[in-house]
Structure 1
Amino acid sequence: MNDRQNAFGTDPLHPKLLDTTLRDGEQMAGVALTPDEKVAIAQLLDAIGVPEIEVGVAAMGGEEAVAITTLVNSSLNAELLGWNRARISDLAASFDCGLQRVHISLPVSEVQIAAKFGGDRQRLWQQLEESLTFARDRSQFISVGAEDASRADPEFLLAVAKTAQRLGAQRFRFCDTLGILDPFQMMEQVQPLVDSLDIPVEVHTHDDLGMATANALAGLRAGAKVVDVTVNGIGERAGNAALEEVVVAMRRLQDWDFGIDSRQLLQLSQAVQQFTHPGPLPPWKAIVGENVFTHESGIHADGILKNPQTYEPFPPQWLGTQHQIGIGKHSGRRAIAACLERHQLSLTPTSPHYQQSLLDAVRVRATQLKRGLGADEVLALASASPPS
């Protein structure tokens, strides 16, 4: 590993996760978590070792404020962070809920400044100073986030970051709000912030171009110390970097596990899916999808049965699960034989006609049903086609 990779394990400010499922994740269209559901998700995040949770937007009031207050009083090990606009009223709402750690967000791109501040940069500087001054006397920790940083003028972005640092911010969040960067651009934009600031840089990525996880890892490569994630990658529009993807990718690629118990990721994923979306996750979803360790293709199944490393990028034991051999249109004789053997039947090598006829029957049936076959269905076909 190079020096930057080694730093993951030796730097006292080694990278850590901030989970924003309860804030940015819940902003996914159609999602509305109850206070009890927010508490349940926070407890699961806490149980697997997530060190910091962004709990929501207290300024919304109502049940959102109730949920945040409940979380503050829940004796979680994770540090809790409240999201705020650069407004004293937002921050006051966070403090009223008992939060001691706050995040202040403000727009930094021309298009966002025009939309939210009428193009008045002086107003931006004023609200940044007022909100930081107000928060500084009432909180234990303040982070400042640059909304739409990936479209901001680099010199202006750096000026905002340095001003935030001077005024008491203890961390600076770089937001690829529209998910428009690729990993190379991510490194190019984050590196100058890392080199110029004395406070840690945090990266917040979106998946509009399908690169949220890759960009999150690129931000860490550039020296960021905190990476924002959501369970299952839920969030605005196409979502955010997925917690499970970032955790497993960093463990596989950089030998860094964030202190997360990955064996509980499947349970966490399923719980969040139940609370946020009717129906199951896509079976091909990275890390937590049903098909991640399911192998049907004859070549793949044969390889897995001989040595799992042939077609598995990381061991299923990381997730507390095991691989499965699916039976379907693309299966080969080895997979069908293994299925029969598990049920004390034999696909004998001395009966090639039987082997081929059963394989043909499996493929025809799977095509008719447009799905894989269960063990009972395979056994039924085997019984209907006795060895000749």
Structure 2
Amino acid sequence: MSQQQRTVIIDDTTLRDGEQSSGVAFNPEEKLQIATQLAAVGVPELEIGIPAMGDEEREVMRAIVGLGLPLRTLAWCRMTAYDLEAARGIPVDMLDLSVSVSDQQILHKLGSDRDGVLQRVGQLVREARDLGYEVCVGCEDASRADMDFLLRVGEAAAMAGASRLRFADTVGVMEPFTVRERIARLHAQLDLDIEMHAHDDFGLATANTLAAVAAGASHINTTVNGLGERAGNAPLEECALALKYLHGIDVGLDMRRMPQLSKLVEDASGRTVAWQKSVVGAGVFTHEAGIHVDGLMKDRRNYQGLDPEELGKSHQLVLGKHSGGKMLRRSYRELNIELLDWQVPVLLSQLRVLVTATKRSPQAEELMDMYLALDAVVPDTLSAVSLPLGGA
């Protein structure tokens, strides 16, 4: 199957793993708003909470399902009888039953062994199926697991009635080449959908997610703004647009709604989105350097990899230290001033001093003050002045 024909399902976990980010706590109204806006963007699956957290969590989960949003819902549970009982009666479509699969966590977290894990999988997946839930077996710390054992876990999950296996890079230690190799093996040998759950500890969550898709993963976990424990999870906005632009896989989202969703999650989480954060940062379509501005003014495709219109935005040209003559002339035309040739290098020199001192673009009154001060400059003394390296 070609990449263009493939379907990749986004299972967004902002409301679960995103909220597990240290210090983040959504109130019920915020959870309902986030779920509603995720649905408006077109996300097809949401992991909406952890039933074992208590009655309030379960009530909010029921309320989200009660919204009747056009999407599927999941609940996250540890693979224990206690968590399964806590999920009983919550009207989600699927349970993610999570169990440690690395020897490190099996021994030092569960206090068990490999046979004990396989026994849990066989028993609890069947019990969840008997309760009427579809089941995804979440393989915690899969990135540090023995692959032969991970395949045995997958086989036990499929035999017990699970339909999906989540490969969790829980501590964020994978890179794309190894991800592709391991996901390809799982995809080839297991009769299960494969879901990638990536963490961003080395800044590779999006790259690892794309590698998993290239290897056959049918589902991916994301969070809005990359929210999540430690360095966060694979960002929804990055994965959706990278799949579309770089792999030709359109996941069917209305990305023009993404800035609004990003702001909602930013406010609700209290985690400020960096100015240069890819896709949703305030400055990602802002240009200052002279050669870039010149190229964009000629044809925006000269310096455009991602079309800002995809997000309902546009390129922003700003005046700064690395600006050239064309941007300077344009800025003064907005003040109804047409610069003479000799004035351009003088003003550019003064501009560089100003923005270096203030760490910002000049204000209109500052540009006007610089222009009026040109009366003190004698053109004949400017023969040695040249344009700065910013270019035209």
- TM-score bin, normalised by smaller chain: over 0.9
User: Does residue 121 of structure 2 align to residue 132 of structure 1?
Assistant: no
Unaligned runs of 5+ in 1: none
Inter-partner Cα distance in structure 2 for 1:373 and 1:102: 55
From 307, 310, 318, the equivalent of 2:302 is 310
* 2:151 matches 1:168: no
Encode CA deviations 1:300-336: one digit per residue, 9 max, x unaligned: 1111111111112121111110000111111111112
- The answer to which of 217-226 and 251-260 deviates more is 251-260
User: In 2, are the aligned partners of 1:114 and 1:120 still within 8 Å (CA)?
Assistant: yes
Shift in Å at residue 377 of structure 1? Answer: 4.0
Q: Is 2:247 the partner of 1:254?
A: yes
1:231 equivalent among 200, 206, 224: 224
2:191 maps to which residue? 198
CA distance in 2, matches of 1:198, 1:213: 25
Q: How big is the alpha-carbon RMSD for the aligned residues of Structure 1 and Structure 2?
A: 1.7
User: What is the deviation of 1:212?
Assistant: 0.4
2:361 to 372, 379, 387: 372
Deviations 1:241-284 (A, max 9, x none): 11000111111112222000011111111111111125x42111
SS in 2 for 1:346: coil
TM-superposed deviation, 1:383: 4.4
Distance 1:169 1:377, change over 3 A: farther
- Cα 1:95–1:339 change in 2 (3 A) is farther
- Counterpart CA distance in 2 for 1:271 and 1:378 is 36
Shift in alpha-carbon separation, 1:304–1:379, aligned structure 2, 3 A: farther
Which string of whole-angstrom CA distances, capped at 9 and with x for unpartnered residues, describes residues 7-62 of structure 1? x3324xx1111100011111111101111111111111000100000001011014
CA distance in 1, matches of 2:23, 2:283: 26
Give, in whole Å, the separation in 1 of the partners of 2:362 and 2:49.
Answer: 44
Tell me the equivalent position of 1:180: 173
Q: Distance in 2 between matches of 1:142 and 1:178?
A: 23
> Structure 1 residues 375 and 22 mapped into 2: Cα distance closer, same or farther (>3 Å)?
farther
Matched residue of 1:272: which SS? helix
Give the ranges of 4+ consecutive aligned residues of structure 1 lying more than 3 Å apart after TM superposition. 374-388
What is residue 33 of structure 1 aligned with on the other side?
Answer: 26
SS of residue matched to 1:117:
coil
* Unmatched runs of 5 consecutive residues or more in structure 2: 380-392
Alpha-carbon separation, structure 1, partners of 2:93 and 2:218: 21
Q: Paired residue for 1:326, among 318, 322, 327?
A: 318
Alignment of 1:36-185 (within 5 A): 36-185=29-178
- Which has the greater radius of gyration? 2
User: After alignment, is 14-23 or 63-72 more displaced?
Assistant: 63-72
Given that 2:72 and 2:92 are in contact with CA atoms closer than 8 Å, whether structure 1 keeps it comes out as no
Amino acid at match of 1:359: L
CA deviation after TM superposition for structure 1 residue 118, in Å: 1.1
- Structure 2: which amino acid aligns with 1:295? H
Deviations 1:163-186 (A, max 9, x none): 101100011111111111110000
Distance 1:224 1:362, change over 3 A: same
Cα deviation for residue 376 of structure 1 reads 5.0
Structure 2 residue matching 1:241: 3-state secondary structure: coil
Q: Which residue of 2 aligns with 1:381?
A: 370
Tell me if the contact between 1:205 and 1:240 (Cα under 8 Å) persists in the aligned partners: yes
Q: 1:263-342 alignment to 2 at 5 Å? A: 263-277=256-270, 280-342=272-334
Count of residues paired in the alignment: 377
Structure-1 separation of matches of 2:363 and 2:124: 60
Q: Which moved more, 1:92-101 or 1:353-362?
A: 92-101
Relative to structure 1, is the Cα distance of residues 234 and 374 closer, same or farther in structure 2, using a 3 angstrom cutoff? farther
Q: Which one of 5, 10, 16 corresponds to residue 10 of structure 1?
A: 5
TM-score by length of 2: 0.92
Letter in 2 for 1:9: Q
How far off is 1:364 after superposition?
1.3
CA distance in 2, matches of 1:79, 1:374: 50
Output the CA distance in 1 between the equivalents of 2:254 and 2:370.
42
Distance 1:378 1:66, change over 3 A: farther
CA distance in 2, matches of 1:204, 1:374: 46
What residue in structure 2 maps to residue 344 of structure 1? 336
**Secondary structure at 2:98's aligned position in 1?**
strand
Residue by residue, what CA displacement relative to the aligned partner does 1:150-201 show, whole Å, maximum 9, x if unpaired? 1101100000011101100011111111111110000011111000112211
Q: CA deviation at 1:98?
A: 2.5
1:360 aligns with 2:349: yes
Cα deviation, 1:55-76, whole Å, max 9, x if unaligned, reads 0101101432222121111111
Q: What is residue 214 of structure 1 aligned with on the other side?
A: 207
How does the TM-score come out when normalised to structure 1?
0.93
SS at match of 2:112: coil
Kept after mapping to 2: 8 A contact 1:117/1:123? no
Is the alpha carbon distance of 1:376 and 1:45 closer, same or farther for their aligned partners in structure 2, counting shifts above 3 Å?
farther
Amino-acid identity (%): 41
